[in-house]
Amino acid sequence: MSRFMRWIFRVFLFSLCCLILCSGGLLSPSRGSNPPVRRNVAATLAGHSEIQRYWLRRKDLIIRGKTIIGSKELEEIHRVQLDKGIRNLPIFATLLVRESLEASRRKAFEEAVALCKAAQKLAPGLSYGYFALARVYWSQAKHRLDWVLAEYVRGLVVSIKNFKYSFIWFTDFFYLSGQSILLAFFLFSFVLFLKYFPSLIESLARSFRAQVFQVILAIMKIVGILLPFFLQLNLIWAFLYWSLIFWVFMENRERFMLGFFLILIIYVPWAMDGCSHFLDHSASRLLHIYAANEETWDHDLKEDLIRRLQANSRDTNILFTLGLISKREGNYPKAKYYYKRVLSNNSSAADAMTNLANVYLAMGNVDEAIALNSKAIDMNPQKASFYFNLHRANSRKSSAPVKADSSIQRATELDPTLIHHYLKVESDNMNRFVIDETLSAMSLWKDGIYHLVGTWMDPRGLVSVLITPLSKRVRFVSPLLFLGMMVVFSIVAKRRGTVRKCPLCGSPSRRVFPRRIEGDFICLGCHRLFVKKEGLNPKIKIKKVAQVRKHRRREELISRILSLFSLGGGYVWRNYTVRGVVLLFVFSLFILRKVHWHGLIRNAEVVPASSPLSSEAFFIGLFAILYYVSLRGISRLERRKQAMEKVRISL
């Protein structure tokens, strides 16, 4: 395999790992096909008395054996759902999916397929109906992989478009990535500690054999090493402090990576705190808006939106949602009031304008409905629902048949599936007669990002995080002090020279010589013996060769141990810093993903999947592949280095 293809494979594997880890096992059948179940089902059913009545009748007929799945009752539930303007019924779709999986276990595949399709009909905007159908197809006919993949793709598309799913995935990804960065730094600094601590001890030992001033300086260095314990720094900042002490021993790449990690350590926890503040104050608002637009609502949800509107009277998303709820409930004057407030705040809101036109049409003001729909079309001529609503308004006026026909023709050209679905409707119910626009996932994302970025972009927060005390005992110990220490150590290392660890014998030395082929630096003794081939004393040669061989065996052993216990640790030890840090980050993702298997953001209405075995098997398999690739890369580096050193050592 060429070097280019190996890099392509690594990038693909890294992307796949991040996708699987941060999406919470999106591709696993058990994770996707076991839908969320509300804890208090009875309370949820009580909010839909008419739907509850049909559902209980269906269950009674199934128990008495008069029907298998209750198709007529499910059709009545769907009719009531459309009459109320509800787009998704998650609880009833969930119960149908549970029944379908039970039927699949009984080998009643036709019944299972019918139940899954009924669940998709009740909740077309939720993914677990599609994933459940894929699982049923897999159990029914494993050779029809095209059926399985088709349903999985449909479920994935629905999941991506669904704001609630994508919002939970984003928060999981954000917190998982932030914690993985901190864990990766801890592992990186731990490897540096193991790598350079012997050199520091040897340097201190030499100081104790020197003059009195050097002895006092060595004692001060020892006190400096123990300083994090006296200051009561947390583990991350303590290892950062010790890593800075090793600054003069480090390679340039390690110094750059340590500076990069310092910035991340300062701002990643701050960003996570800002996201926590956002989740505490704004996330519930967004999820309530989503639920009212795409799922169901109750009196408590509506009262919460009204209370939030009183705090911010110019919140157009809440105004739009309250107008939609009022229209669906048949309170047209209230819906008209809310939509007019939306347009007073944003006169170019075409979705609110066509919904207001639908309210006017329901109130009998056909001319105003036609005018508003025409204006909405002028604002967005590519929206099929606007032309359809204009067609419906024109159909109430017998004097404009030509205009109505042209409107429906244009609507069919733009979105034939949507228009044919609504043309089949033979009902005067205004929730079914016209198409009411809802807030899109993109609108909710823009709203959420605006509030989240507003929390992050506060200049006072960006600056204050640099001077936030890290120690309860000494208030001036702050991230700014660590930045200053890094600058001071850089100046000292530049003036006095870097103490480099010889890659052949392991001895620290300021006087080093570069090797052009290997791209590293060796000490004076190795340079004279292996490069210049000078005729040294045979005892010195034997001692030096023994030292080199002992150091090589030690390096190989530690590298393999670090590679076994942490992906990337061996690369960092071998001075492949960037590659090692990337693998450490992926390793941290794996560890934290397993610890938080059901997500970092736990929804109070969601219980874990009942059978995560296949998902865990996939997770372990992917982890094993990554481990194998990492260990193989370390072995390849060791063989290459051994071949080079054999040439140098042979005398």
pLDDT at residue 250, as a whole number:
82
pLDDT at residue 284, as a whole number:
85
Reported as a single tens digit per residue, the pLDDT across 223-259 is 888 888 888 888 889 889 888 888 877 888 888 999 9
Amino acid at 203: S
In terms of Cα–Cα distance, which of 491, 521, 494 is closest to 508?
Answer: 521
The answer to whether residues 477 and 470 touch, using CB atoms and an 8 Å cutoff, is yes
The answer to whether residues 245 and 228 touch, using CB atoms and an 8 Å cutoff, is no
Is pLDDT at 132 greater than 80 in this prediction? yes
Reported as a single tens digit per residue, the pLDDT across 165-210 is 888 888 888 888 899 999 999 999 999 888 888 877 777 777 666 6
pTM for the whole structure: 0.77
The answer to whether residues 52 and 45 touch, using CB atoms and an 8 Å cutoff, is yes
Neighbour-count burial for 554-573, b at 16+ CB within 10 Å, e otherwise? ebbebbbebbeebbbbbbbb
Helix, strand, coil share of the chain (percent; to 5): 75, 0, 25
Q: What mean pLDDT comes out for the span 326-340? A: 92
**What crossing angle do the helices spanning 401-414 and 384-395 adopt, rounded to 10°?**
160
Tell me the three-class secondary structure of 453-498, residue by residue: HHHHCCHHHHHHCCCCCCCCCCCCCCHHHHHHHHHHHHHHHHHHCC
- Contacts of 7-12 spanning 24+ positions with Cβ under 8 A: 10/629
In terms of Cα–Cα distance, which of 219, 255, 221 is closest to 240?
Answer: 255
Q: Using alpha carbons only, give the angle 480, 484, 490 rounded to the nearest 5 degrees.
A: 145
Q: Return the minimum-mean-pLDDT range out of 61-75, 351-365, 546-560.
A: 546-560
Helical residues (DSSP H) of 510-610, grouped into ranges: 524-526, 538-565, 569-573, 577-595
Question: Most confidently modeled of 344-353, 391-400, 608-617?
Answer: 344-353
Mean per-residue pLDDT of the chain: 80
Domain residue ranges of the chain, discontinuous segments joined by +: 34-160, 170-271+469-649, 324-440
Is pLDDT at 29 greater than 60 in this prediction? no
The answer to whether residues 120 and 133 touch, using CB atoms and an 8 Å cutoff, is yes
pLDDT at residue 511, as a whole number:
67
Q: Cα separations (Å) of 299 from 87, 313, 366, 384, 606?
A: 18, 20, 31, 32, 21
In terms of Cα–Cα distance, which of 173, 168, 166 is closest to 442?
Answer: 166
Is pLDDT at 36 greater than 70 in this prediction? no
Q: Return the minimum-mean-pLDDT range out of 28-32, 64-68, 347-351.
A: 28-32
Is pLDDT at 50 greater than 60 in this prediction? yes
Helix (H) or strand (E) holding 629: helix 613-649
Half-sphere exposure in the Cβ direction for 284 (13 Å, CA): 12
The answer to whether residues 323 and 355 touch, using CB atoms and an 8 Å cutoff, is yes
Helix (H, G, I), strand (E, B) or coil at 286: helix
Is pLDDT at 343 greater than 60 in this prediction? yes
Residue count of the chain, please give it: 651
Fold of 324-440: 1.25.40
d(CA 162, CA 406): 33
In terms of Cα–Cα distance, which of 546, 542, 588, 568 is closest to 634?
Answer: 568
d(CA 459, CA 480): 16
Helix (H, G, I), strand (E, B) or coil at 583: helix
Reported as a single tens digit per residue, the pLDDT across 460-507 is 767 888 888 888 777 778 888 888 888 888 887 776 655 667 777 777
The class level of CATH for 34-160 reads mainly alpha
Q: How confident is the model at residue 644 (pLDDT cuts 50, 70, 90)?
A: low
Q: How confident is the model at residue 11 (pLDDT cuts 50, 70, 90)?
A: low
In terms of Cα–Cα distance, which of 16, 6, 7 is closest to 589?
Answer: 16
Cβ atoms < 10 Å from Cβ of 463:
10
Q: How confident is the model at residue 332 (pLDDT cuts 50, 70, 90)?
A: very high
Q: Return the minimum-mean-pLDDT range out of 48-57, 64-73, 440-449, 540-549.
A: 540-549
Q: Return the minimum-mean-pLDDT range out of 96-105, 181-190, 237-246, 638-647.
A: 638-647
Phi, psi angle pair for 478, to nearest 5°: -140, 170
User: What is the DSSP secondary-structure string of 12-66?
Assistant: HHHHHHHHHHHTTSTT-HHHHHS----S-HHHHHHT-HHHHHHHHHHHHHHHTTS
In terms of Cα–Cα distance, which of 423, 435, 444 is closest to 384?
Answer: 435
Is pLDDT at 406 greater than 50 in this prediction? yes
